[in-house]
Amino acid sequence: MQEITNLNPEDQTVDLALRPKTWDEYVGQDKVKSNLRLIIDAAKQRSEACDHLLFYGQAGLGKTTLAYLIGKEMGVNIRPTTGPTLERAGDVAALLSNLEPYEILFIDEAHRLNKLVEEILYPAMETRRLHLIVGKGPSARTFSIDLPPFTIVAATTKVNLLSGPLRSRFGATFRLDYYQHSDIEKIIKRSASMLNVSISSEAVATLAKAARFTPRVANRLLKRTRDYAQVNNLKQIDETTINQTLELLDVDTLGLENADRQLLTTIIKKFNGGPVGLKALAAALNDEVGTIEDVYEPFLMKLGFIHRTPTGRIATALAYEHLNLPNRATLV
């Protein structure tokens, strides 16, 4: 079963087309937006490069979109790269020394930067100088290069994996949270009109409920529903179209996928509702501890379906109810 959170190349194209190009199109995250606009306006008034910025939060919440909006607002070019592609110190040195003044280097998956690369980045971010060592042993020489003013915008889903020194080099750090239901509805309506899709307001609400509070998932589900409507010759997407599409995708009304349901039923059936330690849960699910912690749990906690306690994970009464399973704790 294909996970809703993953993207195939076709979806990436749609994702790009639907990406907000102005602050007004960027729905929600109002605090982050107003703070960012302040930083940008101040930098523009001083004719300086924007401060280095760090965004963190779950995948699909709009970190990359913000980076591009900042570039647009500053009127500068943005050069995208990712943590794992910057393997050697030379890779980052080459990128930085080729930046035009005021350009933005956008580093996605910043938690995957290795130590060598980070060590080149710290001084470059702080003093705008590159310190390089050429050669090895006694003949090694160090030299430094002045860099033009530039901005690093980094994005990560795992801010705790970023080293302390790197984190402290950012002028501001922003956490992107899950979206409100009403914001997801707005995003769906905007995307539907861009994709020329006619959708009833009840259908928008049903779709938003299954979108995991995440814009990328909302757009993705909308696109699948559009496919379904097209193949079945339906002129308008209504609630039935949404429900039938969700059923085909094995996504339930609250956006839970197979893996989410399996996690909950394992806690309930194999571990008596918990508490169960993360490692034991991972072993029972044959999955990685990291995936459970970073991918499934945040959403299930947001729904209030599991609690993290010092002794382990617990399935809540809401989870039993949603899965239609008898809850022994409440049985008399």
Catalytically active residues are: 63-64, 108, 157, 216
Q: Is 105 in the site for ligand ADP (CB under 6 A)?
A: no
* Total residues at interface with ligand ADP (CB under 6 A): 20
Distances in Å between the Cα of 326 and the Cα atoms of 2, 247, 263, 323, 329 are 29, 24, 17, 9, 9
Q: Pick the binder of ligand ADP from 32, 36, 50, 63 (CB under 6 A).
A: 63
Burial class of residue 154, CB neighbours in 10 A (0-12, 13-18, 19+): buried
Of the candidates 218, 213, 217, 237, the one whose C-alpha atom is nearest the C-alpha of residue 227 is 237
- Which residue sits closest to ligand ADP, CB atoms considered? 62
CB 273 within 8 A of CB 328: yes
**C-beta closer to ligand ADP: residue 187 or 264:** 187
Taking contact as CB under 6 A, which single stretch among the options 53-61, 82-90, 117-125, 281-289 is the one that binds ligand ADP?
53-61
Stretch that binds ligand ADP, among 12-20, 76-84, 202-210, 228-236 (CB under 6 A): 12-20
Q: How far apart are the first and last CA of the chain?
A: 38
CB 321 within 8 Å of CB 305:
no
Q: How far apart are CA 263 and CA 282, in angstroms?
A: 9
Q: Which is nearer to ligand ADP, 154 or 315 (CB)?
A: 154
Q: Return the residue of 5, 50, 62, 199 that touches ligand ADP, per CB under 6 A.
A: 62
Residue of 43, 52, 53, 60 that binds ligand ADP (CB under 6 A): 60
Is 151 a binding residue for ligand ADP by CB under 6 A? The answer is: no
> Residues 211 to 230: which contact ligand ADP by CB under 6 A?
215-216, 219
> Smallest gap, in angstroms, from Cβ of residue 185 to ligand ADP?
11
Query: Minimum CB separation from ligand ADP for residue 182, in Å?
Result: 12
Q: What span, in angstroms and rounded, lies between the C-alpha atoms of 186 and 215?
A: 10
In a 10 Å sphere around its CB, with 0-12 CB exposed, 13-18 middle and 19+ buried, how is residue 56 labelled? buried
Question: Using CB under 6 A as the criterion, which residues of the chain lie in contact with ligand ADP when the complex forms?
Answer: 15, 18-20, 26-29, 59-65, 155, 187, 215-216, 219
